[in-house]
Amino acid sequence: MILFANLNFKLINMTVRIFCLNEKDIADTEYLTHMLSKDIGPLKFRLYTPSTKEDYYKFHNSLDKVSVDDFNHISQLIENRYHFNHNFFNVILTEKQIESPTNKFKSSKDWYSFYFENFIIVKTSGWEEATEGKPYLGVAHQIIENLFQSLGRIDLYGLNLFDSVHKKTKTCINDFCETTEETNGKIRSGHICKECYDNAICHVENDTLVQIRNILRRIRNRITEDYEIPFSDRERKIEIINNSDIIIGGVYIDWGKSKNLHPYYLFFLLNYNKNIGVSDFKGEGEYQDAHEKMTQLLIDMKFKNFEKLKGTSVGERLLEEKLKLVESFIKNITSYQTRIYNSIMNNVHREDIGYFYRLTSSKINKKNTYCVKVEPSDIVIPKKFLKYIVSEV
């Protein structure tokens, strides 16, 4: 259920500041912010990762759930900490239960969001089912939904609210949504109906509406994964260059803070079309040298002075750290698979090509395996990297 209050201005340019108040959601919020920033327009999205010493963070952390008064107090603490004017929206992300700001609606849902003036609060938990295991997309949709409704001047307390919000679902951004199924349909549609669009255009600049529509469609596509492979040779080209950088469709992939994602993905890319799983890393599968090859790749990429330090106490310690990276990958391969996918999708210009070059998973002989699927004619691999290719038993 989306709950909201009126905001009276017409947007020209707006910075949307996103405050994530739960440490475990930081990675998803980074992906979310990068995704929202891919579409050019008046809305500029910025992630603020607060210090645990901030007053608003400490106050939020002390709560079991967030009441209306709590929301107002957090908003005030953020205003006190950061420069504030009407060119900002502030989004508070919380994993805690949020109390409804009004008794006007009754709902059995245990998640929702609302806004008041320039502040939005969104619950980050409870989105797994509605987003098919991609909860950050549900949070992203809530942010855009609240922005659209706020800028369109939909009044929570108005007597004629349901003239603006669809009590009966239309798979539109302004659907009230009593059930998870209705919410799922709304997010998957990525749609703003003509009636709601016409109402919004009176208050919102067309450039902003275009940006919002593009973001909604991007969210829809990432959930439905309804992509087609591009026909252009250049767009299909995936290239590894001598310094280990990866170029997909002419775009260098920036792995951001998650530096370990790069060698993990590179290993599977070098071994494209091979289904490699945990049993292979344990020396029990079809590719029994997988552990050795990935270890060597990690050492060469992240331990440049290995040969000089080999046999020394420093060298042994650093080597042990690299071996732990391999073990970490093996234990958390599904999590890394998701993070690799999100990083690629947030870099490529065309998300369909990013989708096709994701790290896929499949069961072979009842065992989970992972693979990057590439046509041999579409990939460029320098000879120096051939030593990392696994051998079939």
Instruction: Name the CATH superfamily for 2-224.
Output: Collagenase (Catalytic Domain) (3.40.390.10)
Contact criterion met (CB below 8 Å) for 130 and 138 = yes
Point out which residues pair with 277 in neighbouring strands.
369
Computed over its alpha carbons, how large is the radius of gyration of the chain?
A: 24
Does residue 8 have a pLDDT over 60?
no
Tokens describing residue 38: 């891919």
Does residue 157 have a pLDDT over 60?
no
Tokens describing residue 302: 């992240």
Q: For residue 86, give every residue at least 6 positions away whose Cβ sits within 8 Å of its Cβ, in sequence order, or none.
A: 9, 118
Q: What share of the chain is helix, strand, coil (3-state, %, to 5)?
A: 45, 15, 40
**Residue 248 pLDDT:** 95
Does residue 164 have a pLDDT over 80?
no
Point out which residues pair with 46 in neighbouring strands.
17
Please return the burial class of 125, using the count of CB atoms within 10 Å of its CB with bins 0-12, 13-18 and 19+: middle
pLDDT digits (tens, 9 = 90+) for 177-221: 878 788 888 999 999 999 999 989 999 999 999 999 999 999 999
**Residue 114 pLDDT:** 87
Q: Which amino acid is at 75?
A: S
Backbone angles phi, psi at 388, to 5 degrees: -95, 5
Q: For residue 386, give every residue at least 6 positions away whose Cβ sits within 8 Å of its Cβ, in sequence order, or none.
A: none
Hey, which of 214-223, 297-306, 308-317 has the most confident mean pLDDT? 214-223
The mean per-residue pLDDT over the stretch 349-373 comes to: 92
The mean per-residue pLDDT over the stretch 323-341 comes to: 89
Backbone angles phi, psi at 195, to 5 degrees: -60, -45
Q: Whole-angstrom Cα distance, residue 25 to residue 30?
A: 9
Q: Dihedral (C-alpha) 369, 374, 376, 381: value to the nearest 10 degrees?
A: -90
Q: Is the pTM of this model over 0.75?
A: yes
Q: Whole-angstrom Cα distance, residue 213 to residue 176?
A: 19
Q: How long is the chain? A: 393
**Residue 242 pLDDT:** 94
Domain extents in the chain: 2-224, 234-388
Which residue would you say has higher pLDDT here, 75 or 309? 75
Question: What's the pLDDT band for 105 if we cut at 50, 70, 90?
Answer: low
Does residue 40 have a pLDDT over 60?
yes
Does residue 59 have a pLDDT over 90?
yes
Q: Whole-angstrom Cα distance, residue 335 to residue 328?
A: 11
Q: For residue 294, give every residue at least 6 positions away whose Cβ sits within 8 Å of its Cβ, in sequence order, or none.
A: 263, 264, 267, 281, 326, 329, 388
**Residue 146 pLDDT:** 92
**Residue 1 pLDDT:** 45
